Amino acid sequence: MKKGHLIGLGVIAVAIIIIVSMIGDASTYESFATAKAMKMKGEDKAIHVVGELKKSAAGAVEGIEVNADKTSFYFMMVDNDGTEQKVFYNEPVPPDFARAEQVVVIGSYKNEDLFVADKILMKCPSKYQENEVSTAGM
């Protein structure tokens, strides 16, 4: 075989190894029940759970407890399966947190009752939503 062919095969092999190793890190959205089951099996890897903040009938966010030093907080979240869970985040409350339409928490259970988020991703209402505009004379 020529040297060029060997180098090409080596590059392809390295690319395949990188792709396969990245597939193992790709995560899917799970429910709180699945995350809890994984914890009970001894798996401590970070899990993505998607859901919404718990809100009252009037639309106000319920269950936010900010610690006295304002460097961490607890909140209630409802996943897509309807499971309500208390979540702890060891960072200050993100701006517009209460306005989030959807929340993704990345973390794991530290005990049976508390999910600890390492990161929070929020989908906030878009400022580009289509609004009905009325004009004078029409």
Give the CATH number for residue 70. 2.40.50.140
Element (H, E) at 107: strand 102-109
pLDDT at residue 116 is higher than 90: yes
Residue 76 domain flag: yes
Mean model confidence pLDDT for the chain: 83
Residue 12 domain flag: no
**Tokens representing residue 136 in the block:** 């004078």
- What is the SS3 assignment for 38? helix
Residue 134 domain flag: no
Residue 132 domain flag: no
Nearest-angstrom CA–CA distance, 99 and 129? 15
Closest CA to 108 of 94, 100, 97, 119: 119
Q: What is the mean pLDDT of residues 46-58?
A: 89
Residue 98 domain flag: yes
Structural domain tally of the chain? 1
Instruction: State the residue range of the domain holding 111.
Output: 28-123
Nearest-angstrom CA–CA distance, 67 and 90? 10
Residue 92 pLDDT class (50, 70, 90 cuts):
very high
Count of CB atoms situated within 10 Å of the CB of 53: 22
